[in-house]
Amino acid sequence: MSQVIVITSGKGGVGKTTTSAAISTGLAIYGYKTVVIDFDVGLRNLDLVMGCERRVVYDIVNVIHGEANLQQALIRDKKHDNLYILPASQTRDKDALTDEGIATVIDALKEDFDFIICDSPAGIEKGALCAMYHADQAIIVTNPEISSVRDSDRILGILSSKSRRAVEGKDPIKEHLLVTRYSPERVTIGDMLNVTDICDILSIPLLGVIPESKSILKASNLGVPVTNDYQSDAGVAYNDAIKRLLGKKVPMRFVKENTKKGFFNTLFNRKRSRV
């Protein structure tokens, strides 16, 4: 049974595309045939993060409008044979997406793939609604920041009212919270919302915590999803999240500061943080 997973957030810039690239790559590494679709028509970026921008010939809008078939538009990942990218159009706008067209594309992909990852654009308009409509599961990407948490809450409301599962009265979408750009040091000094409070506010199960990390920018610079970087904290955190998505029990990491400080060190840091 193939699973459609939407990566969404409401707010822009929280890490949806980074997460889409990382999760789809991880699923492919675990042996699942995976396709990741960019729904951000007009502002496509998934191709850059996946490092395949020079191989884009046709896109999802071409497929929907019958200008190319699905096989022509799908781009196979350089590293992983079972990972494909379906890019968005750069020149059209979101209105080029039609409900019937997307339904046809998703149904065709379900025949072939274990996982269909939908990278949602920011906002709650056409593109975001199209990305979430067919979802069986949703990963809500949230930054430990007040506006991001509110937007995530809003998106949860829309998932439970406007998705196909909601409209057709089926079992609700399985929701997962992914907290990104987390900085345990700032949480300790009280500058940042802690992950327990975010879970409490949004009331959905936690899939993972991705620490704020230099490796994310490095990964997008290189066009190599961060999951491939086993040396980096963010890469490790994404790997843990993917295992949890596949139903494994993995303890949370990167939630607390990992450096053990002495008493005087703690005192000193405390004082400094107040200034």
Minimum distance from residue 36 beta carbon to another protein (Å)? 27
Name residues whose C-beta falls within 8 Å of residue 150's C-beta, 6 or more positions apart in sequence.
none
Minimum distance from residue 90 beta carbon to another protein (Å)? 34
- Residue 162 sits in the site that holds another protein (CB under 8 A): no
Q: Which residue, 98 or 160, has its beta carbon nearer to another protein?
A: 160
End-to-end CA distance of the chain: 56
In contact, 94 and 127? CB cutoff 8 Å: yes
Q: How far apart are CA 140 and CA 119, in angstroms?
A: 11
Give the x/- contact pattern for another protein in 128-157, rule: CB under 8 A: -----------------xx--xx--x--xx
Q: Which residue, 190 or 251, has its beta carbon nearer to another protein?
A: 190
- Residue 270 sits in the site that holds another protein (CB under 8 A): yes
Minimum distance from residue 188 beta carbon to another protein (Å)? 10
Minimum distance from residue 46 beta carbon to another protein (Å)? 28
Q: Which residue, 66 or 190, has its beta carbon nearer to another protein?
A: 190
The size of the interface with another protein (CB under 8 A), counted in residues, is 22
In contact, 35 and 105? CB cutoff 8 Å: no
Q: Which residue, 50 or 155, has its beta carbon nearer to another protein?
A: 155
Q: Which residue, 173 or 224, has its beta carbon nearer to another protein?
A: 173
Q: Which residue, 90 or 183, has its beta carbon nearer to another protein?
A: 183
Closest CA to 201 of 272, 144, 137, 265: 144
DSSP assignment letter at 110: H
Give the x/- contact pattern for another protein in 30-49, rule: CB under 8 A: --------------------
Give the pair of three-digit tokens for residue 261. Answer: 């400080």
Minimum distance from residue 154 beta carbon to another protein (Å)? 8
Give the pair of three-digit tokens for residue 263. Answer: 């008493």
Give the x/- contact pattern for another protein in 180-219, rule: CB under 8 A: -------x-xxxxxx--x---xxxx---------------
Burial of 211 (0-12, 13-18, 19+ CB in 10 A): buried
Minimum distance from residue 170 beta carbon to another protein (Å)? 18
Q: How far apart are CA 211 and CA 202, in angstroms?
A: 19
Bridge pairing between strands 137-142 and 174-182:
parallel
Q: What angle do CA 266, 268, 269 make, to 5 degrees?
A: 65
Q: Which residue, 37 or 204, has its beta carbon nearer to another protein?
A: 204
In the block, which residue shows the tokens 């949890």?
244
User: What are the residues facing 76 on neighbouring strands?
Assistant: 84
In the block, which residue shows the tokens 């995976």?
34
Minimum distance from residue 202 beta carbon to another protein (Å)? 7
Q: Which residues bind another protein (CB under 8 A)?
A: 145-146, 149-150, 153, 156-157, 187, 189-194, 197, 201-204, 270-271, 274
